Structure 1
Amino acid sequence: MSERVVPGGVGALVALGAADALWAVLTAGSAVPAASAVFTCPPADARAGYVVLGARVVVAAVRADDGRWGVSEVEVRQAALGLNSVEMDGCDLVRIGPFGGATKQGSAGGTLLGWRGRIAEELRGTAGRGRAAQCGEDRLCHLAGIDWRRVLVERAVEGVGRSWWLPRAVVRLLDAAGHAETQWLQAAQARQASSAAEPPSRHRQPQATDSRQATGPDVPIVPLRPYGGELAGQLYSVLSRKPGMSGKVAGWVCAVCRTAAAAVLDHCHEHGYVRAPVCTSCNILERPDHLYRNDIRVAGRYMRLFGTGAAGWLGHWHRCPGCRTRSVLPLPHLAAWTAHTASRTLRPTHREGRTRKPCGVLRVSWTGSQNAPRSCLLTVAVDFCPSGEHRVLAQVPYREAADRFRAWLAETAPALAAAAGPDRLDGLPARPRPVIADTGGEGLSLF
């Protein structure tokens, strides 16, 4: 295909090969690694009518009378500008799989619908080898113009097996791009249905002739609406069975970060109440890391949950009436807070340069349940500590941990502490639900 500019009536179109070259030049300095051949390498297909790039830019493919395909140079530049503006922390990772259960797949023509499933499929080597063979080893398939392979991290966890991780910035980009693609496809379907339903008329105005044939609608993206507490006090078990709830959730902006589209209903596994619709990135950030039957690893991201972003996250967790009434957190979160905050001074350190760095991996486990506080004991330990492979730092009874948290809550977020308390028992279930041990089994499905 000749890499020339195709003249058009509404701005310059560039041939697909030239668009690939332009994309490579514009994204050369991006913190997020950009893929090559985003318009000519599968899963991109001009006949599908569009390619999604960056967070929200859907680049429509246009076919001229001579049969050649092109894309708008302005849209390519907009997508590159958006990608270049994203800052990425390579250490702030989100687990993207594998998770239990079958992965939902999107339509064959889409590039992002079910992007986690597409990554899992390729990593498992089922259909990815076929697509990679079409692209060539140096032109691998992309997602939203991102070369996700360059930032994918694979970890092996004892007793669990391997897991796959991507930087949080990349996950949010792909979630936002998937939402934009969904809206674009829905608009295309609505436009096709409207055209099919329109009766023929002799007085219809003739359409303007053009040397190009657009394959997709030029429809603006519908803005997401902010969450205003519409689901407050409702049970997840009831809402998850309501028809059409998944579409309603996708129309909200995430109640935590307030930037990405919501994808799941975050809810309290102890009391069963819905907290708020959140994006997948915030949902994974909120979930205790590597939660097993009664044991979690306290990751570095808790510095944000209980440090710089404490007020916001505490307010989110206390959207559950059960936690708010008892002025406490669900047991796994309380255990993480106890290990990360209340026992911080007990953790050994080692010298690194001119500073001292906490050593080992912080872990907390518990015996018993929050439903039997007298028998519940939290054990904070350090794995892989030079002074001992598994060094126990503290053993804290549940009631003592809860009292410490209430005192810290009153100091950290006085307004939240004032809104909580045992005198607010209206609507609280008489028999709280037990802790659900594995919150990651179906964590990436909507409900």
Structure 2
Amino acid sequence: MAELVIGGRTGGLITLGAADALWTSLTAGSAVPTASGAFTGFPADARVGYVLLGGRVMATVQTGGQWKVPETEVCRAAAELNAVEMDRRDLLRIGPFRHVPRQGQNEGTPLRWRRRITHELRELGDPERAARREGGRPCHLAGIDWRRMLVEQNRDRTTRTWWLPRAVVQLLDRAEHSETRWLQAQAAQGRRASAAVPEPPSPRRQAQATDNQQTRSPDSPPPPLRPYTGELEGHLYSVLSRKPGISGKVTGWTCAVCGTAPAAVLDHCHEHGYVRAPVCQSCNTQERPDHLYSNDIRVADRYTRLFDTDTVNWLRHWHRCPGCRARTTLPLPHLAAWTAHTACRSLRPTHRGSRGRTPCGVLRVSWTGSQNTPRSCLLTVTVDLCPSGEHRVLARVPYREAAERFGTWLAETAPDVAAAAGPDRLDGLPTQSRPVIADTSGESLALF
């Protein structure tokens, strides 16, 4: 390994070419594919003073006419990437969306990885541009070769959608967040320096300062993220979201669900209007039921994972809403998904396949009435897209029965969460519960 970097090493710094070779070698066995031109290939640009690598910001220094980076930082970033576990089946849609997600409208960072991917894919759709790109400059994002993991799906052979593994999305979100904080720290440092208003230097010192500024990049790491400990519990989202500076405060926490990625948005209960916790974009999307309409959802495999892996964490997160916790239940779309996936699991038919019997079609739940009138609310669980052409109604479950089943299951699955729930008291809850909001576009993430 030392042979890769000794030729370009100067006091712990290595040239960009040596850093490329070191990064490729150290991450050869990583679950996340990496690019060979992490430091020299587009869009990496050492001249701006830093390079993104994985979820880290790496300062660059110019010495002897060459840009260099610390060898130890490259090794540290590679070790962090090698520790990432990736499930290629756990995909997250990254576009195209009919409307730009609200979180992406004011990103304020040069990375903007979602926009970069969208631009690249649209550019490759042109045969002439694709031919010119062949054999050209490598393209990566924070040293990650995203093209090797991109999944393209066609819906009805008309609409293309693009997907990446959730672990990769979290890495790129972390890189974007780290870059934002790093740039903010540099800007704050520049403002403090300008506010001092020092005595005008002599021409010789001014020339020396200019040379130092060109050959050295400041390396002041941003303040560490702090874990969320319930500071916003009990606040109404409609009130808290309007307070100035709340967006900056949210980004100072780690995600309250996964505990690793930086928080980006405030997740809240759409029925009671209470803030649950700050979460990252990946967890916020994962928490969203597919096809959220006024009275119908599709229970896809991505959403059913919430009731199979990390179940306790998600139950605890949902019960951060005082309304759901007091009633020992879930918001209506989540309760409907749980009823279809868990309470009606034994009713779902199966079909014979190449690898044994597989569950039939896709589960869909619709309901009549409202959670505000439990006696009239009825959940209907059906199977869509059956391979044999059948469309079968599995069960019709009254809302109160579904809530009672969930309470029993909650006590068995997460007793600590169940112990903190109930009794069903309405003291302090909003006088008018906020109804489930329809996603009119069916694609936008703006509601979340």
Superposition TM-score tier, normalisation by shorter sequence:
0.7 to 0.9
Query: What is the aligned residue count?
Result: 436
Q: Tell me which residue corresponds to 1:187.
A: 185
Query: TM-score, length-normalised on structure 1?
Result: 0.87
Alignment partner, residue 341 of structure 1:
342
> Shift in Å at residue 253 of structure 1?
0.9
Partner of 2:433: 432
Distance 1:129 1:183, change over 3 A: farther
Q: 2:48: which partner in 1?
A: 48
Aligned: 1:367 with 2:368: yes
In structure 1, the partner of 2:95 is 97
Q: Please list the CA deviations of residues 36-92 of structure 1 after superposition, one character each: whole Å capped at 9, or x if unmatched.
A: 312222211122111111122x222222243x3222232222222222221111011
Aligned residues of 2:349 and 2:359 also touching (Cα < 8 A): yes
Equivalence for 2:226? 225
Measure, in 1, the Cα distance between the counterparts of 2:330 and 2:214: 57
Secondary structure of the residue aligned to 1:407 is helix
Q: Which residue of the partner structure matches residue 270 of structure 2?
A: 269
Paired amino acid for 1:247: G
Higher percent of residues as helix = 2
- Equivalent positions of 1:321-340 (< 5 A) are 321-340=322-341
Does the Cα contact within 8 Å between 1:65 and 1:212 map onto a contact in 2?
no
Question: Which residue is equivalent to 1:60?
Answer: 59
Do 2:94 and 2:164's aligned partners in 1 also have CA atoms closer than 8 Å?
Answer: yes
| Distance in 1 between residues matched to 2:174 and 2:443, nearest whole Å | 23
1:443 corresponds to: 445
Cα pair distance change 1:163/1:105, threshold 3 Å = farther
| Cα shift at 1:138 | 5.3
User: What TM-score comes out, normalization by structure 2 length?
Assistant: 0.86
Q: Structure 1 residues 220, 42: CA separation in 2 closer, same or farther (over 3 Å shift)?
A: same
* Mapping 1:140-159, distance limit 5 Å: 140-157=138-155
Mapped to 2, the partners of 1:369 and 1:106 lie a distance apart of: 37
Letter of the 1:93 counterpart: L
Deviation at 1:317, TM superposition (A): 0.6
Change in CA separation of 1:118 and 1:59 when aligned onto 2, cut-off 3 Å: same
Q: Is 1:253–2:254 an aligned residue pair?
A: yes
Q: Distance in 1 between matches of 2:134 and 2:20?
A: 15
Provide the C-alpha distance between the structure 1 equivalents of 2:200 and 2:87, rounded to a whole number of angstroms. 60
The 2-side partners of 1:436 and 1:179 are apart by 29
Structure-to-structure mapping, 1:367-386, within 5 angstroms: 367-386=368-387
The one-letter code matched in structure 2 to 1:425 is L
Structure 2 counterpart of 1:121: 119
Verify the 8 A CA contact 1:121 1:127 in the aligned structure 2.
Answer: no
Q: Distance in 1 between matches of 2:247 and 2:438?
A: 25
Gaps of 5+ in 2: none
CA distance in 1, matches of 2:391, 2:407: 29
Structure 1 residues 441, 429: CA separation in 2 closer, same or farther (over 3 Å shift)? farther
Question: What is the CA–CA distance in structure 2 between the aligned matches of 1:127 and 1:154, rounded to whole Å?
Answer: 13
Q: Which string of whole-angstrom CA distances, capped at 9 and with x for unpartnered residues, describes residues 160-214 of structure 1? A: 943322111111111211121112111211222222223335999x999999954
Alignment partners' CA distance in 2, 1:21 and 1:181? 23
Give the C-alpha shift of residue 365 in structure 1: 2.1
Task: Give the aligned partner of residue 194 of structure 2.
Answer: 196
1:388 deviates by: 3.5
Inter-partner Cα distance in structure 1 for 2:153 and 2:301 = 16
Structure 2 partner of 1:310: 311
Distance 1:250 1:133, change over 3 A: farther
SS at match of 1:94: strand
Residue 385 of structure 1 aligns to a residue whose secondary structure is coil
Instruction: Summarize the Cα distance change of 1:138–1:361 in structure 2 as closer, same or farther, 3 Å threshold.
Output: farther
Query: Relative to 1, partners in 2 of residues 1:127 and 1:244: Cα closer, same or farther, differing over 3 Å?
Result: farther
Distance across 2 between alignment mates of 1:49 and 1:132: 31
Summarize the Cα distance change of 1:404–1:252 in structure 2 as closer, same or farther, 3 Å threshold.
same
Cα distance per residue 1:137-159 (max 9 Å; x no partner): 45442111111121112234469
Shift of 1:275: 0.3
Change (3 A) 1:203 1:384: closer
Alignment-derived partner of residue 81 in structure 1:
79
Which SS does the other structure have where 1:388 is aligned?
coil
Give the Cα separation in 2 of the matches to 1:128 and 1:284. Answer: 31
